[in-house]
């Protein structure tokens, strides 16, 4: 499995706090079947995205990594006016593996009409937005039908693995299930922060999807679609089950 959303780099945000914890998270990811994991530190009003420091921590953790898991670098990009302008001016600053895909987190209260305009600007700059965990955003939980329009316009959707299992409450679990049933999910990722509560273990979520929607669909969401993101390629033609 390939995990495109994690806070595994140490001391940058509310994720791993020490490199020892990061190494332990890598071991847990490997043990649960993850082959690749993307470090996506926050870029928001609380946590600055300091590119040079992030690159150094990425190198440090890569050198300490004794597992088979391959580390990649991206960003958990909070959609704001300042961030949007910076991303458009520097299209590969925040993207996964400096390719076209960008993990975008929306504010807690937002109208989807404005999101569509922002995503259009990103696409014009050659950036393909991946909307992160909409099922956990209370504002978006009430606008789930509107997400279909964003997807038609070219957005992609990532759901958090633990949302499917109830970790973030009934509303998030129901929204995640609704998005899956409506075929509006392209990726399921861990959004891992630690080794105890919000872990990088994707195995239970894979089993959940496989048992309800079939192994082929689970493979798309956990393996094939994320692999295309790492390569910077378009998603496979069968990204949706139809």
Tell me the pLDDT tens digit for each residue of 208-218: 999 999 999 99
Q: Mean pLDDT score of the chain, rounded to an integer?
A: 96
Tell me the pLDDT tens digit for each residue of 165-177: 999 999 999 999 9
* pLDDT band, very low/low/confident/very high, at 144 (cuts 50, 70, 90): confident
Helix (H) or strand (E) holding 88: helix 81-89
Q: Which domains does the chain have, with CATH numbers?
A: 2-231 (3.20.20.140)
CA distance 78 to 173: 22
* Dihedrals phi, psi of 114, to nearest 5 degrees: -70, -35
- Report the pLDDT value the prediction gives residue 238, as an integer from 0 to 100: 65
Which of 58, 44, 79, 49 has its CA nearest to residue 10? 58
Per the confidence metrics, is the pTM higher than 0.85?
Answer: yes
Neighbours of 90 (CB within 10 A): 12
């Amino acid at each position: 499995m390939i995990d495109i959303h994690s806070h595994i780099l140490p001391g940058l945000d509310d994720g791993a706090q020490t490199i020892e914890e990061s190494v332990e998270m890598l071991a847990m990811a490997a043990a649960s079947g993850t082959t690749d994991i993307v470090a996506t530190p926050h870029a928001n009003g609380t946590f600055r995205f300091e590119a040079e420091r992030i690159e150094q921590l990425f190198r440090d953790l890569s050198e300490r990594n004794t597992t088979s898991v391959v580390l990649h670098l991206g960003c958990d990009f909070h959609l704001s006016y300042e961030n949007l302008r910076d991303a458009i001016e520097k299209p590969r600053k925040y993207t996964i593996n400096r390719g076209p895909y960008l993990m975008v987190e929306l504010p807690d209260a937002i109208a989807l009409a404005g999101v569509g305009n922002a995503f259009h600007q990103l696409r014009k700059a050659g950036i393909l937005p991946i909307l992160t965990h909409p099922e956990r955003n209370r504002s978006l939980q009430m606008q789930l039908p509107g997400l279909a329009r964003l997807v038609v316009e070219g957005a992609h959707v990532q759901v958090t693995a633990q949302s499917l299992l109830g970790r973030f409450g009934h509303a998030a679990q129901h929204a995640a299930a609704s998005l899956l049933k409506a075929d509006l999910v392209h990726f399921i990722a861990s959004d891992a922060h630690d080794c105890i509560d919000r872990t990088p273990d994707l195995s239970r979520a894979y089993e959940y999807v496989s048992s309800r929607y079939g192994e082929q669909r689970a493979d798309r969401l956990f393996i094939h679609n994320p692999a295309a993101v790492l390569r910077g390629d378009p998603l496979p033609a069968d990204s949706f089950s139809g």
